[in-house]
Amino acid sequence: MTQGSRLYFAVTLMCAFVSIHGVGLNDLLERASQLSDKLHSISTSLTNDLDSHFPPVGRVMMPRPSMCHTSSLQIPNDKDQALKVPEDELLSLARSLLLAWSDPLALLSAEASSLAHPERNTINSKTKELQDNIDSLGAGLEHVFNKMGSSSDNLSSLPFSSNSLGQDKTSRLVNFHFLLSCFRRDSHKIDSFLKVLRCRAAKKRPEMC
């Protein structure tokens, strides 16, 4: 029995070693880009599902996009600016954005099942999928951060204060839609930043871009 447990321990060590040191930065970033791409596409399809039966009054009631809780974060707004940002700052922007959404997505996930919308079930399952993917991506980006070996970990804090979407059905639906649109935009930002990072890390392999 000791032989078996020793073997198991050795295999675990090897796997851990390979997973931390053996996997290159390129592969980590490739995997992270795939996850962020998936996040954005799920949020887009969720938005389309919500739009299919959205009350017109909701569009009037919808808060402005500048009211998203992540709007205070300073991000590059065009390609030239984005390409000038150093890598660790790009990574920390992506991580800050991702971190800012773990609480709100939990709230969305809790409220999805009781939404006043005919596509409620699809919305619920997709929201859960979003939550899972966010967790995986967060873990992956931590690996990337460790691999990049930058000195400081300057994550911006973007607190999300509300803990409920609203009192009545319509306002809950509208706020759900609004939060989702904010998330969709932020997931596109994360995706773009990670893809720039991926291309920069793979200097010798232009097919990665």
SS percent in the chain: helix, strand, coil, step 5: 75, 0, 25
Cβ distance to other proteins smaller for residue 45 or 113? 45
Q: Would you call 15 exposed, middle or buried from its count of C-beta atoms within 10 A (0-12, 13-18, 19+)?
A: exposed
Is residue 101 a contact partner of residue 186, using CB atoms and an 8 Å limit?
yes
Cβ distance to other proteins smaller for residue 72 or 157? 72
Question: Of 12-20, 76-84, 142-150, 156-164, which part binds other proteins (CB under 8 A)?
Answer: 76-84
CA–CA dist 77, 83 (Å, integer): 11
How many Cα atoms occupy the beta-carbon half-sphere of 64 within 13 Å?
3
CA distances from 16 to 87, 96, 120, 132, 183 (A): 26, 27, 41, 22, 33
Interface with other proteins in residues 153-192 (CB under 8 A): 185, 188-189, 191-192
Q: How far is the CB of 41 from other proteins (least distance, A)?
A: 6
Any contact of residue 41 with other proteins (CB under 8 A)?
Answer: yes
Secondary structure letter of residue 78 according to DSSP: S
Any contact of residue 199 with other proteins (CB under 8 A)?
Answer: yes
Q: How many residues does this entry show for the chain?
A: 209
CA–CA dist 77, 160 (Å, integer): 23
Q: How far is the CB of 143 from other proteins (least distance, A)?
A: 20
Among 3, 21, 56, 207, binds other proteins (CB under 8 A): 207
Question: Of 13-21, 73-81, 113-121, 163-171, which part binds other proteins (CB under 8 A)?
Answer: 73-81
Any contact of residue 119 with other proteins (CB under 8 A)?
Answer: no
Q: How far is the CB of 202 from other proteins (least distance, A)?
A: 9
Question: Of 5-13, 99-107, 153-161, 199-207, which part binds other proteins (CB under 8 A)?
Answer: 199-207
Q: Of 42, 180, 36, 37, whose CA–CA distance to 95 is shortest?
A: 36
Any contact of residue 69 with other proteins (CB under 8 A)?
Answer: no
Residues that bind other proteins in the complex, under the rule CB under 8 A: 37, 40-41, 44, 64-66, 71, 75, 77-80, 82-83, 185, 188-189, 191-192, 195-200, 206-207, 209
